[in-house]
């Protein structure tokens, strides 16, 4: 491998909107070892406009053609979740490294299929659970797991997002249909549970209640009403491998700062901050009693706002590819998180406790 920057092809690039434009572009530009080589979109017109915005040299109206481009090293899959499978499989078959937005697949079967394909391909794969990879979250995990405050005893988390409210824009209407796999539970809930496990360890049992509190949703611009089938509120009560108990609430339709309050036998730790789009999008700060060592700097300090946590993922991914290490959340981690979310569904539907890992 040369020392030239790793070349990324973005599937699902758009010059007008989207997570690739709003977060990934600035995130990648903050990492010297990465560059945008190509983009793809639904039409050539959209792709050409995206190429100008992203600074890409090549624009494709067909994502499958882009993944076969020999000058693309990494395929970044930033399309809607139902479209992930085809592009990810094609990219792996072409021998590419792959970044996929979270959730990886629409359901557990699809997620396992993609993880198995990644194992066969042997390339580096990353899933975009940047919430659990945020510098503040990793710092908190280091402090807790290093025993700085004794044994974790109880944790309370309130995680909110303005999404899944009473009104949604047309391009987010698909998020209201549970069958598409991109829901409050999988997106906001997935990021939140990944953060919780990162700090206090894996769940061993849980109970849950998921609810649709606002069943009728207005599509802004058109005024149409659609029926929401995906929960807009989620409660998870669990016990973790180290004995810590936790209560996690995930709410849609409201933008409040993250509340992450951990009590240990020798002190307390909180994570503060957040963003209207969810804590994983914003800057976070760790506070402790008694005081603890300061958080170390970001790997990509040039990235700020919604790009900061994403840039941390990209910087680590580039290092992994260069060094042969595997430090970022991968497709096997996506399977684990999907299994955990399925357990939340089972607990909510059955009304009892679910044991994890059996």
pLDDT given for residue 348 in this prediction: 97
- The pLDDT score that the predictor gives to residue 2 is 72
- Class for the domain spanning 131-294+331-355: alpha beta
74, pLDDT greater than 80: yes
- The helix/strand/coil state of 123 is coil
**Residue ranges of the chain assigned to CATH 3.30.360.10:** 131-294+331-355
Structure tokens at 230: 């995906």
| pTM given for the model | 0.95
Ramachandran angles phi, psi of 254, nearest 5°: -150, 140
Beta carbons of 334 and 104 less than 8 angstroms apart: yes
Measure the CA–CA gap between 344 and 210, rounded to whole angstroms. Answer: 8
Share of the chain above pLDDT 90, in %: 90
pLDDT score of 138: 94
On the 0-12 / 13-18 / 19+ scale of CB atoms within 10 A, 239 is middle
pLDDT tens for residues 107-123? 999 999 999 999 999 99
Res. 171 pLDDT band, cuts 50 70 90 = confident
147 by Cβ neighbours in 10 Å (0-12 / 13-18 / 19+) ranks as exposed
- Each residue's pLDDT tens digit, 16-63: 999 999 999 999 999 999 999 999 999 999 999 999 999 999 999 999
Q: How confident is the model at residue 155 (pLDDT cuts 50, 70, 90)?
A: very high
Q: Does domain 6-129 have CATH number 3.90.1150.10?
A: no
- Is the Cα torsion angle 236, 239, 240, 241 positive or negative in sign? negative
Share of the chain above pLDDT 70, in %: 97
φ and ψ at residue 279, rounded to 5 degrees: -60, -30
The pLDDT, as a whole number, for residue 283 is: 87
Domain with CATH 3.40.50.720 in the chain: 6-129
């Amino acid at each position: 491998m040369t020392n030239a920057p790793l070349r990324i092809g973005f599937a699902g690039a758009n010059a007008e909107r989207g997570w690739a434009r709003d977060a990934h572009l600035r995130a990648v530009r903050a990492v010297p070892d990465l560059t945008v080589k190509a983009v793809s979109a639904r039409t050539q017109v959209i792709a050409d406009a995206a190429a100008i915005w992203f600074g890409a040299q090549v624009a494709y109206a067909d994502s499958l053609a882009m993944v076969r481009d020999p000058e693309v090293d990494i395929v970044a899959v930033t399309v809607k979740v139902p479209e992930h499978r085809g592009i990810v499989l094609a990219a792996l078959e072409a021998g590419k490294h792959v970044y996929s937005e979270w959730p990886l697949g629409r359901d557990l079967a699809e997620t396992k299929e993609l993880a198995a394909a990644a194992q066969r391909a042997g390339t580096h794969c990353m899933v975009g659970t940047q919430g659990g990879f945020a510098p503040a979250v990793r710092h908190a995990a280091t402090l807790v797991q290093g025993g700085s405050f004794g044994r974790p005893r109880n944790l309370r988390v309130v995680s909110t997002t303005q999404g899944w409210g009473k009104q949604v824009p047309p391009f987010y209407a698909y998020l209201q249909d549970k069958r598409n796999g991109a829901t409050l539970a999988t997106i906001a809930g997935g990021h939140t549970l990944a953060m919780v496990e990162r700090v206090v360890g894996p769940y061993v049992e849980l109970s849950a209640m998921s609810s649709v509190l606002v069943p009728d949703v207005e599509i802004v611009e058109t005024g149409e009403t659609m029926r929401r089938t995906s929960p807009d509120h989620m409660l998870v009560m669990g016990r973790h491998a180290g004995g810590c108990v936790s209560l996690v609430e995930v709410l849609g339709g409201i933008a409040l700062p993250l509340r992450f309050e951990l009590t240990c036998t020798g002190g307390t730790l909180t994570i503060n901050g957040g963003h209207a789009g969810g804590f994983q999008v914003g800057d976070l700060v760790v506070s402790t009693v008694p005081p603890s060592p300061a958080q170390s700097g970001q790997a990509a300090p040039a990235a700020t706002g919604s790009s900061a946590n994403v840039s941390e993922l990209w910087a680590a991914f580039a290092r992994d590819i260069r060094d042969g290490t595997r430090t970022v959340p991968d497709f096997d981690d996506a399977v684990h998180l999907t299994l955990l979310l399925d357990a939340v569904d089972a607990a909510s539907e059955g009304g009892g406790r679910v044991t994890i890992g059996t």
